């Protein structure tokens, strides 16, 4: 017997039915302009010489909208750290919290952490956890670049999240 740990049955936390939820939405990001959602915060002395931005680190605060149009409804924010972690391709270590603000999901989060091959058409990353509605979350996300206009400095990403939770 321990004085700080005890065994529980799932019922004691009212964890009776595991649910599977599919979330579909778009991340909207200003890459440049007066209100950028992404800023590079660090790099190595050699990053500028790397074809793959090796060792560049960015902090991101994107909008989560239900549609690909900027005018569609906002349902949360996607806050992330990205690190260009490969010497040989555009493989980014992405750690992202999806913070929802809509309806019964308001205040709940889903956390994704994985390898993001940013120039591959369809990327898959693991869902590693969650809070609120998404406690005990596990699952995966499929993501693709819906729209990128480097001149206008606009990036829109499509997200399909499949998540088990209670
Ligand atoms: C991008 O910046 C424009 C202003 O330049 C702003 O109207 C728009 O809401 C911003 N988009 C995002 C996703 O923050
Ligand atoms: C979400 O929750 C916050 C804090 O409880 C509250 O201020 C806000 O009005 C809620 N938003 C919606 C859309 O329900």
* Share above pLDDT 90 across residues of the chain, in percent, rounded to a whole number: 99
Secondary structure letter of residue 105 according to DSSP: G
pLDDT, tens digit, 9 for 90 and up, residues 50-81 = 999 999 999 999 999 999 999 999 999 999 99
pLDDT, tens digit, 9 for 90 and up, residues 114-160 = 999 999 999 999 999 999 999 999 999 999 999 999 999 999 999 99
Check pocket membership of 63 for ligand 1, CB cut-off 6 A.
Answer: yes
Give me the DSSP letters along 30-97.
ESSSSS-SEEEEE--TTGGG-TT-TT-EEEEEEEEESSSSTTSPEEEEEEEEEEE--SSS-EEEEEEE
pTM of the model: 0.95
Check pocket membership of 64 for ligand 1, CB cut-off 6 A.
Answer: no
Reading the block at residue 108, the tokens are 């709940």
Ligand 2 atom with least separation from CA of 102:
13
**Residue extents of the structural domains in the chain:** 17-165
The CATH class for the domain spanning 17-165 reads mainly beta
Confidence of residue 1 (pLDDT cuts 50, 70, 90): confident
Check pocket membership of 4 for ligand 1, CB cut-off 6 A.
Answer: no
């Amino acid at each position: 017997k321990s004085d700080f740990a005890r065994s529980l049955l799932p019922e004691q936390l009212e964890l009776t039915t595991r649910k599977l939820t599919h979330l579909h939405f778009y991340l909207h990001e200003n890459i440049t302009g007066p209100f950028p959602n992404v800023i590079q915060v660090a790099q190595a002395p050699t990053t500028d010489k790397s074809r793959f931005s090796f060792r560049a680190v960015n902090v991101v605060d994107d909008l989560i909208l239900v549609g690909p149009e900027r005018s569609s409804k906002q349902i949360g924010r996607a806050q992330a750290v990205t690190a260009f972690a490969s010497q040989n391709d555009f493989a980014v270590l992405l750690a992202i919290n999806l913070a929802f603000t809509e309806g019964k999901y308001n205040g709940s989060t889903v956390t994704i952490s994985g390898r993001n091959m940013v120039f591959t058409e369809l990327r898959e990353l693991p869902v590693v956890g969650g809070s609120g509605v998404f406690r005990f979350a596990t699952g995966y996300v499929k993501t693709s670049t819906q729209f990128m206009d480097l001149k206008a400095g606009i990036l829109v990403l499509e997200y399909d999240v499949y998540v088990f939770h209670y």
